[in-house]
Amino acid sequence: MLNLYVVTHPEATHHLEDRVGGWYDSELTPAGLVHAGLIADALTQRVNDGGAVSVFTSDLTRTTQTAAAIGQRLGREPVSMSELREKSYGEGEGQPDAWFRQRFVPPPATGERMDHDEGLAGAETKLEWVRRVYRGMDQIMSRPALTTIVVTHGGSASAVIAHWLRIPSDALAYASFRVETGSITHLREDDYFHNRTLVELNDTTHLRRA
């Protein structure tokens, strides 16, 4: 069977500062670093495929720090990919949350949602964001290991999960998978029917050991 573990980075400095994340290159907080170790421990307990493990990560600092802890435990060098970054919010990145909310234009309930202009200069549309993550996942799944670990962000995790489930990118106008910081989501493809299953979504029980 093929297994995919989607990991979201734990607490980062922009969370405590109430700043917009996106491509803003924040770092893990001291608590986040502890949680990264707990995530690594939890994955080490779950992964028993010997050498058939690959680790991929967004290239932003908060995710590479998380992936480094995982790679150290598993003896694997994480592969950094810009395609796995969070959505770009352009001029909004790193800005105070209150500044952002005054300017952000949310998508409409009906009508064009994927290519909607959110009112922030330089920001990606949802369509551009999802297509970018899908391109990254295409690269990752072109050389699948028995176990693949993808370290990404809360928003981009939805696109990673949807790609694994073979949901077309244009179907994500409304679909979203709610995951918290420091979470592990487990997906699996069986080797008989080749069905792809969402085994576990947003597991954070490992963080309670902190």
Residues in the annotated binding site for substrate: 62, 86-89
DSSP codes joined into one string, 57-126 = EESSHHHHHHHHHHHHHHT-PPEEEGGGSPPPBGGGTTSBHHHHHHH--PPPSSS--TT---S-TTBPPH
Q: How far apart are CA 95 and CA 108, in angstroms?
A: 24
Residue 133, beta-bridge partner list: none
Q: Which of 86, 93, 153, 163 is catalytic?
A: 86
**Cα–Cα distances in Å, from 81 out to 21, 94, 126, 178?**
17, 21, 19, 23
Cβ(150)–Cβ(84) under 8 Å? yes
Cβ(41)–Cβ(72) under 8 Å? no
What are the b/e assignments for 77-87, b being 16+ CB within 10 Å? ebeebebbbbb
> Is 163 one of the annotated active-site residues of the chain?
no
Q: How far apart are CA 163 and CA 122, in angstroms?
A: 25
Q: How far apart are CA 136 and CA 83, in angstroms?
A: 5
Q: Which of 9, 14, 35, 163 is catalytic?
A: 9
> Is 9 one of the annotated active-site residues of the chain?
yes
Point out the annotated binding site.
62, 86-89
Residue 57, beta-bridge partner list: 80, 151
Residues with catalytic function: 9, 86
